[in-house]
Structure 1
Amino acid sequence: MVALLGFLTILVFLALILTKRVSVIVSLIVVPIIFALIGGFGADMGDFMLEGIKSVAPTGIMLGFAILYFGIMNNAGLFDPLISRVLRAVKGDPLKVIIGTVIIAMLAHLDGSGASTFLISIPALLPLYDRLGMSRIVLAGMVALGAGVMNLLPWGGPTARAATALGLDTSDIFNPIIPAMVAGIVWVLFVAVWIGRKERKRIGVVDIEYNFHEELTPEERAMRRPKLFWFNLLLTILTIVALVKVWLPLPIIFMVSFAIAVLINYPKPEDQMEQVKSQAVGMITVVSIIFAAGIFTGILTGTGMITEMANALVSIIPSESGGFMGIIVAITGMPLSLLFPPDAYYFGVLPIISETASAYGVLPAHIGSAAILGQMTTGFPLSPLTASTFLLIGLAGVELADHQKFVFKWAFGTTIVMTVVAVITGVII
């Protein structure tokens, strides 16, 4: 019964947002409450929701101040030289722009953080896409594909979770799939060329002599701080290093960086508040969704829906399929990113699957390698259960349903390509 309620909660939620009948925020709050009441969890529901909100509070704070920080960097002109150089290099060719987008996303994701990848890539490239008349859906999708395939890195969340859950070293899971990851990168670049040709056919190569600064409004020019470019660049690099090295808790890093950035770039108190106001819409939208997602995951976890769904999924696997468990895990991992948050899957579902597979002679390392080929790697930038997805679509200004419809097949394709290579190389069976 509890498992059924969990699946119904997920399905109704996805149906509502994909059909755009209800906003994401409302769906995240209302849908789990309704099914929790149906399941008789009304007395404990408040505690479940509060625990969920507490669990996402650091993420909400981090993303809120990250938006403020990178908004200030954008207003101060940190990304202007990059945009200008890219414009000169691509010469108005949508194909080159999209290939460049994927490469930038891959490089930005070397730190393993989806949030920082999106905060760096989208603000830098969005003006270019708008100027050329290119689709923002394509921008969000290409950044998602680039970040997704790079999320397999050992210091990324999925690989670390899989290794921890199975009692293995990250190298046991990651090193064998390096050829598969390379194939995934090649696939993403192929997709970029494919989509780029379609955009080129739709728009054509725009013959522009584009001076980025001439396109700015008087208000935008007034906010630029070209003399502080090197300071802002150094501060941003230092911030990213601090995030990777975890010198301080991540929310604190962005709070401190924001305070330094706004103080140096805009010393007057009234200017500082104007900077906050200029980012208010994006910040409030993302943060409110994060806390709404806390209610969603809090109820699913507290009621035991997550655990029961995991048990139900394992129980329906036919015994004759046990020997192919690795392939099943690999192929289903990406779609299951829409149903399970990373902690629930890797710490709740994966150990059960691994234990079941071991009865058929499948090693835990093979199951771990299979899982990271899709679950919250290629699947994380379109999952409604990850905060960074909402940051991505918020920065790009697109709807979640439109983003998912565009990128799902290409992200799933990445998983399929990597799975085929992993099978050929004997990593999974």
Structure 2
Amino acid sequence: MLVALGFLMVATFMALIMTKRMTPLLALILVPTIFGLFTGAGFGLGDMIMDAIKDMSGTAALLMFAIMYFGIMIDVGLFDRLVAGIQKLVGNDPAKVVLGTSLLTAVISLDGDGSTTFIVVTAALLPIYQRLGMSPVVLTCVAGLTNGTLNIVPWGGPTARAAAALHVDAADVFVPMLPSLGIALVVIGLFAWQLGVSERRRLQRERPELWGTEMGGGNITSPTGGASPAGASPKGGNLAVLEAVARKGDGTEAATMDGTVLDPNRETLRPKTFYFNLVLTVAIMVLLVVDVLPLSYLFMVGTAIALVVNFPKVSDQVKMIAGHSSEIIAVVSMVLGAAVLTGVLSGTGMVDAMSQWLVAIIPDSLGPFMAVITGLISIPATFLMSNDAFYFGILPVLTEAGAHFGVPAVDMARASITGQPVHMQSPLVPAILLLVSLSRVDLGDHHKKVLWRALVVSLVMLASGVLLGAIHMG
């Protein structure tokens, strides 16, 4: 009975959010509550859920203050010089432009928000792609790959979801995966260079009148705009800004940022505190890696210091906090809502019954490989369903089954996040739809170029995690 109710609850939850009949937050609260009542738990559901909320409080605090911190750093201009430097560095060489796309995406992705990252990247680099006649599909491919891979940072979403669903610490999930993340980024860099060299050769072949005789350096003699690909999305929002910039040809770097989150005229810029903000951010990253303080407390202190130093006036501090409230509420409420699902699954005994059923059907020979199996399952599963459906619905069941074979929950969590490079390309992810829209790229063209590369990156992360000891066998 509990097995049937458990799987039916998970299926109902996934169906409702995948068909958009209900928002994930409401489904997380209402569906488990209804099914929990069918188990006869009654008013006992309250204690189950409150216990789960206590376990998730650290993760909720981490998400809240990490999102706020990186949002403030973008607002005050910490990344502006980097963007301008990358634009200057890449020049007119397509290979360098594509590699710079990966680098810029990687840095901006540290804020954990895909939409913000893609707005910044397209605002900074799409005019260069258009001026050189490069394919914007290359931009979406490299940006999507890089952001999807860095989506595993603890405040990005998947790691926090996995930690919350399995009641483990987000730092314990993420920090041991840093070497695998580094290897994956190297692979993406190789893909970016290959795509850039391919673009360079194509332009030399198709538009020889614009090129000198030298292979390297991209000696463009005059700026031209690139043609829009088939299936272009209608213009709107930041796209109009990008097109206006592209028509300026060799305009200044500052002009390419007008109307975006990196607008050079925004009131929140604090150039006098640039070096302080840089040192503060580097210090936080170092402390994150050495793991001497809880991540949630680390970002609490970092956010407080950043606000006091950059915005001494209380009224300005209030504005900055309020300015990032929408994304904070969206993410933190999701984590707290997940406490209802995980609390019901564990408190009613559903997850135990479901895992015992899985153990019964999984051959003993495959049991010790449950973490690897979970990693492989996460690749197609997170593409076909939302992160909420996978991490809160599927992962707890797989993890409980793995526990019977001696596979720790934290290893299952680490393996489960390796599918994120593929997940980010899913049409279920709003951020990727924003990216292809801003770049005027057909989603099908994007998938043709990115999916197999994303699969390679996911498999590299999983394999390196196993080889480097982050993901253990039972």
Which TM class, normalised by the smaller chain length?
A: 0.5 to 0.7
AA of the residue aligned to 1:378? G
Q: 1:257 to 1:377 in 2, by over 3 A?
A: same
Question: Please, which of 212, 232, 251 is the counterpart of residue 209 of structure 1?
Answer: 251
Q: Does the CA contact (< 8 Å) of 1:52 and 1:296 recur in 2?
A: no
Equivalent of 2:416 in 363, 371, 375: 375
Aligned equivalent of 2:133: none
Unaligned runs of 5+ in 1: 109-115, 356-363, 384-389
Q: How has the CA–CA distance of structure 1 residues 140 and 219 changed in structure 2, closer, same or farther, with 3 Å as cutoff?
A: closer
- The question of whether the paired residues in 2 share the 8 Å contact of 1:83 and 1:212 is answered with no
Relative to structure 1, the CA distance from residue 8 to residue 348 in structure 2 (aligned partners, 3 Å threshold; closer, same or farther) is same
Tell me how far 1:140 sits from its aligned partner.
7.4
In the alignment, is residue 18 of structure 1 matched against residue 63 of structure 2? no
Counterpart residue type for residue 22 of structure 1 = M
**Stretch of structure 1 that moved more, 210-219 or 55-64:** 210-219
Question: Is structure 2 residue 121 aligned with structure 1 residue 128?
Answer: yes
Distance in 1 (CA, whole Å) between partners of 2:253 and 2:152 is 34
TM-score (norm 1): 0.67
Aligned to 1:147: 150
* Root mean square deviation, CA, Å: 5.2
SS at match of 2:297: helix
1:311 aligns with 2:349: no
Amino acid at match of 2:149: G
Closer/same/farther in 2, CA of residues 59 and 264 from structure 1, 3 Å limit: same
Matched-pair contact (CA < 8 Å) for 1:16–1:22: yes
1:191-237, CA deviations, whole angstroms, 9 ceiling, x for partnerless residues? 66799889x88569965534236734689532211111000101111
The amino acid of 2:32's aligned partner reads P
Contact map agreement 1:105 1:147 (CA 8 A) in 2: no
Q: Is the 8 A contact 1:95 1:193 kept in 2?
A: yes
Q: Matched residues in 1 for 2:80 and 2:463: separation?
A: 41
Rate the CA distance shift 1:244–1:273 in 2: closer, same or farther, 3 A.
same
The 3-state SS of whatever aligns with 2:418 is: coil
Task: Answer with 14-23 or 372-381: which moved more.
Answer: 372-381
Equivalent position SS for 2:287: helix
1:227 counterpart = 2:279: no
Determine the structure 1 residue equivalent to 2:6.
6
Q: Which has the larger radius of gyration?
A: 2
The code of the aligned residue for 2:402 comes to L
Alpha-carbon deviation of 1:35? 1.7
CA displacement at 1:79 relative to structure 2? 0.8
Q: In the alignment, is the contact (CA less than 8 A) between 1:77 and 1:225 conserved in 2?
A: yes
**Counterpart residue type for residue 352 of structure 2:** T
* Cα offset, 1:73, TM superposition: 1.3
Q: How far is the alpha carbon of 1:145 from its aligned partner?
A: 3.7
SS in 1 for 2:267: helix
Number of residue pairs aligned between Structure 1 and Structure 2:
378
Q: Secondary structure of the residue that 2:416 maps to in structure 1? A: coil
> Could you tell me how far apart the structure 1 residues matched to 2:30 and 2:250 are?
49
Q: Residue 47 of structure 2 aligns with which residue?
A: 47
Q: Are the structure 2 counterparts of residues 409 and 344 from structure 1 closer, same or farther at C-alpha, using a change threshold of 3 Å?
A: farther
**Which letter does structure 2 place at the counterpart of 1:212?**
A
**What is the identity, as a one-letter code, of the residue corresponding to 2:335?**
I
| Aligned-partner Cα distance in 2 for 1:219–1:82 | 13
The one of 234, 238, 243 equivalent to 2:288 is: 243
TM-score scaled by structure 2?
0.61
1:277 corresponds to: 322
Q: Provide the rounded CA distance (Å) in 2 between the counterparts of 1:320 and 1:201.
A: 55
Paired residue type of 1:85: G
For residue 265 of structure 1, report the CA deviation from its aligned partner. 0.9
CA contact (8 A) 1:68 1:283 kept: yes
Counterpart AA for 1:49: I
| 2:404 paired residue number | 352
Residue pair 2:3, 2:353 contacting (<8 A) in 1 also? yes
Could you say if the C-alpha distance between residues 350 and 117 of structure 1 is closer, same or farther in structure 2, counting changes exceeding 3 Å? Answer: farther
Partner SS, residue 267 of structure 1 = coil
Structure-2 change in CA distance of 1:50 and 1:92 (3 Å): farther
Residues 254-289 of structure 1: per-residue CA shift (max 9 Å, x gap): 222111111111111111111112112112212211
Q: Deviations over 1:351-404 (max 9, x none)?
A: 32458xxxxxxxx9xxx99x6884233349959xxxxxx9x9789979xxx9xx
Q: For 2:121, give the aligned amino acid.
A: L
When residues 292 and 381 of structure 1 are mapped into structure 2, their CA distance, relative to the original with a 3 A threshold, is farther
> Matches of residues 184-199 of structure 1 in structure 2 within 5 Å?
188=188
Deviation at 1:252, TM superposition (A): 1.9
Match of 1:86 in 2: 86
State whether residues 98 and 139 of structure 1, in contact with CA within 8 Å, keep that contact through their aligned partners in structure 2.
yes
The answer to whether the 8 A contact 1:266-1:272 is kept is: yes
Secondary structure, aligned partner of 1:221 = coil
Question: What is the letter of the counterpart of residue 62 of structure 1?
Answer: L
1:286 aligns with 2:318: no
